[in-house]
Amino acid sequence: PMQDLLEVARRRKNIVPIMADANRPEEYAPFMEAVDLVYQDVAQPNQVEIAEQNLAFLKPGGHLILMLKTRSVDVRRDPEEVFAEARAGLEQHLDVVDVRWLEPYHHDHAAIVCVRRGSLY
């Protein structure tokens, strides 16, 4: 996936790919500025926590797209339950404006589109 992102970033000057541990935003914070969009696609049990840690870079009115992999969060729990918990966590900081389950392409995955409060939404 990083190779694909690098190719897109070569063609588009408004994309800055970061290959770093998303759990440690303090390591790449010196190289960051406020952004309009954070796209997070990690397969970690703490996906929502990682998103929360990286909200420091998101402008008011900016979008977060979280690709939730429910089985990566907890393989034993019902995907709908994992999703509901993730959504509740995100809604503490953001407005959820759209949700799309990615069936049949990706089993038990959902794209959650959020907007940082302070926007027109």
Q: Residue 30 falls within a domain, yes or no?
A: no
Q: Where do we find the tokens 């979280």?
A: 66
Q: Residue 9 falls within a domain, yes or no?
A: no
Q: Residue 55 falls within a domain, yes or no?
A: yes
Q: Is the pLDDT of residue 112 over 90?
A: yes
Write out pLDDT tens, residues 54-68.
Answer: 999 999 999 999 999
- CA nearest 4: which of 53, 38, 41? 41
Q: Is the pLDDT of residue 31 over 90?
A: no
Q: Residue 107 falls within a domain, yes or no?
A: yes
Total tally of structural domains belonging to the chain: 1
pLDDT band at 14, cuts 50/70/90? confident
Average confidence score pLDDT of the chain:
92
Please report the pLDDT score of residue 70 as a whole number.
96
* Domain region containing 76: 37-121
d(CA 107, CA 111): 12
Q: Residue 4 falls within a domain, yes or no?
A: no
CATH number (domain holding residue 58): 3.40.50.150
Cα distances (Å, whole numbers) of residue 34 to 29, 57, 58, 60, 92: 10, 5, 6, 9, 20
